[in-house]
Chains A and B, each alone.
Chain A
Amino acid sequence: MNQGILLSSSGGAEIDFFIHGVFQYKLFGQDLWITTTHICVLIVMLTLVLFAIAARVTISHASEVPGTFQNIIELIVEKLDHMVNGVMGIHASKFRNYIETIFIFILFCNISGLLGLRPPTADYGVTFALGLMTFVLIHFNKFRYQHVSGVIKGLCDPWPIWAPINIIGDVAVPISLSLRLFANVLSGVVMEALVYGLLSRIALFWPAALHVYFDLFSGAIQTYVFCMLTMTYVSQACDTEDA
């Protein structure tokens, strides 16, 4: 069943870390599936939207002496602004919204494994979309700031013969970014599924340590790394020759 979805074909009965199809529909003659990934992404999005509405209401009635929730929001925004400013410098104001949005989204996706969901970032479709957005952002800004002449000069960096190697290097960026995030989260999901599937009789309290490492620690680190590399690549693309 569910042929064509990566890592979803015919798993064992007990060890279950695969993506499952929930229902099937047809679009332009193709069989498409609504999978558990879509549902988990929707749950994460719903949580974030509710959080955003609550934050909006709190900030619009902001008080001089902040309450608990206002304090938390200010802390999050200040920390993320500090991170973006530290890496991007003068370009920070243009990319702050995007970077902080994907930071919070990826973080919530990664730690949703704590709540019994299958983390949506353990599906290559999700992380590859994030990698493609980074790719578009890099090359849009490259053409915008360095213009066509600068891009061609960058491609023929040492000598014009090296242009194919530089193109391969550019194409490899979104693939390595997305595979890094995907494989890290997937390894956590697989490890937890193996523990729960094979050691289900003695898996009583100690798998919590696995969740702390794989979901919280590894998820937070990989979120940080993804945003950090995106910021580095984009601010490299924004740097002009004379700057």
Chain B
Amino acid sequence: MSFDVNFIKGCSAIGAGLAVIAGIGPGVGQGIAAGHAAAAVGRNPGAKSDITSTMLLGQAVAETTGLYGLLVAMLLMFVQPLAK
């Protein structure tokens, strides 16, 4: 059973849209990290620079899973491995 190439391309676009939903997780995680960092600065304003750099490092690492979703979406949209 074979499908039309345009049908596969359309399904790839839908799949790319679904893959970007992976961005929800890092969004929630980064928000939690930023909230706790704000609470920490409120408790100890002297350590603001240390807290900020730790928060940014943790957020950038947490962002990775969302970026994997983005990469999958980009591959589906522009390289189109399924339509070949």
Contacts and interface: CB of A to CB of B under 8 A. Distances in A.
14 contacts: A6-B79, A7-B79, A180-B67, A183-B64, A183-B68, A183-B71, A184-B67, A186-B74, A187-B67, A187-B70, A221-B60, A224-B56, A225-B57, A225-B61
Interface of A: 6-7, 9, 11, 18, 176, 179-180, 183-184, 186-187, 190, 221-222, 224-225, 228-229
Contacts of A180: 60-61, 63-64, 67
The 9 closest A-B CB pairs, nearest first, are A183-B67, A225-B60, A180-B64, A183-B71, A221-B56, A221-B60, A228-B57, A7-B78, A187-B70
Contacts of B64: 176, 179-180, 183
A209 B71 CA distance: 24
Contacts of B53: 224
A224 B67 contact: no
B13 to A, nearest CB: 14
Contacts of A179: 64, 67-68, 71
Interface in B36-82: 53, 56-57, 60-61, 63-64, 67-68, 70-71, 74, 78-79
A9 B79 contact: yes
Interface residues of B, number: 14
Contacts of A224: 53, 56-57, 60
Given A179-B68, A224-B56, A224-B60, 7 more contacts: A9-B79, A183-B68, A184-B63, A184-B67, A187-B70, A221-B60, A225-B56
| Chain A at the B interface: SS class | helix
B25 to A, nearest CB: 15
A179 B68 CA distance: 8
Nearest to B61: A225
Nearest to A180: B64
A176 B64 CA distance: 8
A183 B70 contact: yes
A228 B64 CA distance: 15
Contacts of B71: 179, 183, 186
Given A179-B68, A183-B70, A11 B56 contact: no
A228 B53 CA distance: 11
Contacts of A190: 74
A222 B60 contact: yes
Contact of B74 (A7, A9, A221, A222): A7
A175 to B, nearest CB: 11
A128 to B, nearest CB: 13
Most chain A CB within 10 A, of B57, B63, B64, B78, is at B78
A6 B74 CA distance: 11
Nearest to B84: A9
